[in-house]
Structure 1
């Protein structure tokens, strides 16, 4: 019998799907709140636990979702994962992959280092520098939060006065300003789910109702899509670049450049829309692969 823990934020659909899959695979799965992780050191044990369950005594830990929080709680949670890894506990995804993929700048830096195509991107901390970058990027950009998912907080800015107001507001808030050249695309993007060095399934996400963002969480429509060899190569290489065993990799077609570019690598990806669109049992494949890896 294999015993895993899933560190989660809430007990929604994905957690229930993992529990369902665990039942079919004869896997014991402890669902534990990330916010209840605690650790002890200096007592000879170096224990890491959550909700009374000793994580360092399990066969593996699955990082499902980290809840939002201040800098100190987030840093501690990552420290605890690193501690577990140092104790020999297999963690999917590894802490370094989670750290890399949650930070859009770091993600694209690692992806570009592999020679993979990315959109022109600028990151900085002052509105004045952001205005200069806005001009260099063609005066039409997407402003993104450095940390974020599901398309939340994205804004297209194509007017200089609006850019000035937006960048100064972000500066006053003490936020990092993240700008990406607007990509003229065909109204859809591609999400590929990579697991263990191969693409498990893929879908096309199409924006709806005049919205330019394709994310399912804000109304995008998903349909099954069969990836070609080039898309698979890009997705697998991007997951490897951030050190992820499994990942949701997003590609978009740049109509002006005539090529696909990588826009995101998510090391804690959702799969509800993918499962509904393709019929692929992602939860079962994920747990089964993890079980095989720790044997």
Structure 2
């Protein structure tokens, strides 16, 4: 057995937990950066450069992160993931799902196309048109970076609020109607959302993230509490994962 690969840039607690779980099941795993991988057509039996594998292929791969870089560098790194899938290696999540999910506009389009509840979303480059959309919105708008995670770079804008210059948003304005959560009580200032983990087309675990800010990422100070991955919560999550090819 060639073993499993964890594509990651650092051995954080996520990576350590994955390694522990893999080891507990009698497998071996090694951490490799996609920066160190590439193509070696005519040099290796499979045409890839994978440190530590020579002419062998890994039994499966977990992708913890695709490191940032130039367009050329990111394309080459995703190309390695595409190639592994083409050769029958199980990649979780594979390059197709990563490409669909890293781009919020593509994710939103696919979720809506699959019939999942989706806020009104507008993605465009012209600042003046985007400003008119914010000014005419039925309520607050949320401006999100096209690429980003952990709640960084989010802005909640009231109608007439001034949009940042194009250079500050990578030249693309991604706008959604702000959807407020039901109020539990008049005194409650808690905001929450849910995260569900889907593996093999099944909802295996879930948590509610609660915080005092409308941005409920744990990296922004919210707290995660385990909840049952069942019912409508599980159904929506499984459908969403399927819509972007991450199931």
What's the TM-score once normalised by structure 1's chain length? Answer: 0.75
Cα pair distance change 1:212/1:54, threshold 3 Å? farther
Q: Structure 2, unaligned stretches of length 5 or more?
A: 183-190
Tell me the secondary structure at the aligned position of residue 107 of structure 1: helix
Q: Is the 8 A contact 1:47 1:54 kept in 2?
A: no
Cα pair distance change 1:127/1:56, threshold 3 Å? farther
Could you tell me how far apart the structure 2 residues matched to 1:56 and 1:74 are?
Answer: 24
The superposition leaves residues 170-198 of structure 1 with CA deviations (integer Å, 9 ceiling, x where unpaired) of: 25764211011111114111111111111
Could you tell me how far apart the structure 1 residues matched to 2:56 and 2:231 are?
Answer: 40
Partner of 1:48: 48
What displacement does 1:212 show? 1.4
Tell me the secondary structure at the aligned position of residue 53 of structure 1: coil
Tell me the secondary structure at the aligned position of residue 21 of structure 1: helix
Pairing of 1:106-255 with structure 2 (within 5 A): 106-163=106-163, 166=164, 169-171=165-167, 174-186=170-182, 187-208=191-212, 211-245=213-247
What displacement does 1:50 show? 3.4
Could you tell me how far apart the structure 2 residues matched to 1:114 and 1:55 are?
Answer: 41
Cα pair distance change 1:137/1:48, threshold 3 Å? farther
What displacement does 1:55 show? 8.2
What displacement does 1:228 show? 4.5
What displacement does 1:72 show? 1.4
RMSD, aligned α-carbons: 2.0
**Which structure has the higher relative contact order (CA within 8 Å, separation 6+)?**
1
Pairing of 1:68-87 with structure 2 (within 5 A): 68-87=68-87
Partner of 1:17: 17
Q: Is the 8 A contact 1:33 1:50 kept in 2?
A: no
Tell me the secondary structure at the aligned position of residue 162 of structure 2: helix
Q: Is the 8 A contact 2:2 2:57 kept in 1?
A: no
What displacement does 1:243 show? 0.8
Tell me the secondary structure at the aligned position of residue 80 of structure 1: helix
Higher share of residues assigned helix: 1
The superposition leaves residues 63-90 of structure 1 with CA deviations (integer Å, 9 ceiling, x where unpaired) of: 1111222211111111111112222222
Could you tell me how far apart the structure 1 residues matched to 2:152 and 2:106 are?
Answer: 19
Q: Structure 1, unaligned stretches of length 5 or more?
A: 246-295
Could you tell me how far apart the structure 2 residues matched to 1:99 and 1:9 are?
Answer: 19
Cα pair distance change 1:54/1:162, threshold 3 Å? farther
What displacement does 1:44 show? 7.3
Could you tell me how far apart the structure 2 residues matched to 1:64 and 1:175 are?
Answer: 28
Equivalenced residue count is 239
What's the TM-score once normalised by structure 2's chain length? Answer: 0.89
Could you tell me how far apart the structure 1 residues matched to 2:54 and 2:147 are?
Answer: 30
Cα pair distance change 1:185/1:54, threshold 3 Å? farther
Q: Is the 8 A contact 2:204 2:229 kept in 1?
A: no
What displacement does 1:159 show? 4.7
